[in-house]
Amino acid sequence: MKIQESSHQPIPEDASYLIVLGARVKGTVPSLSLQYRIDKAADYLKANKNTIAIVSGGKGPGEDISEAQAMQQELINQGIEEARIIMEDKSTTTIENIAYSKDLIPNPTATGLIVTNDFHIYRAVEMAKSVGLDMTGIPAKTPKVVLVKSYIREYLAITKYYLKELFEI
Stated pTM of the model: 0.84
**Domain carrying residue 95:** 2-168
Domain count, the chain: 1
| Amino acid in the structure at residue 153 | R
Phi, psi dihedrals of residue 136, rounded to the nearest 5°: -110, 150
DSSP-assigned letter for residue 106: S
CATH number at residue 68: 3.40.50.620
Name the 3-class secondary structure at 132: coil
Per-residue pLDDT tens, the chain, 169 aa: give them: 465 555 567 788 999 999 999 999 999 999 999 999 999 999 999 999 999 999 999 999 989 999 999 999 999 999 999 999 999 999 999 999 999 999 999 887 788 999 999 888 988 998 999 999 999 999 998 876 665 666 667 666 666 776 776 666 4
Q: Taking a C-beta distance cutoff of 8 angstroms, is the pair 55, 42 a contact?
A: no
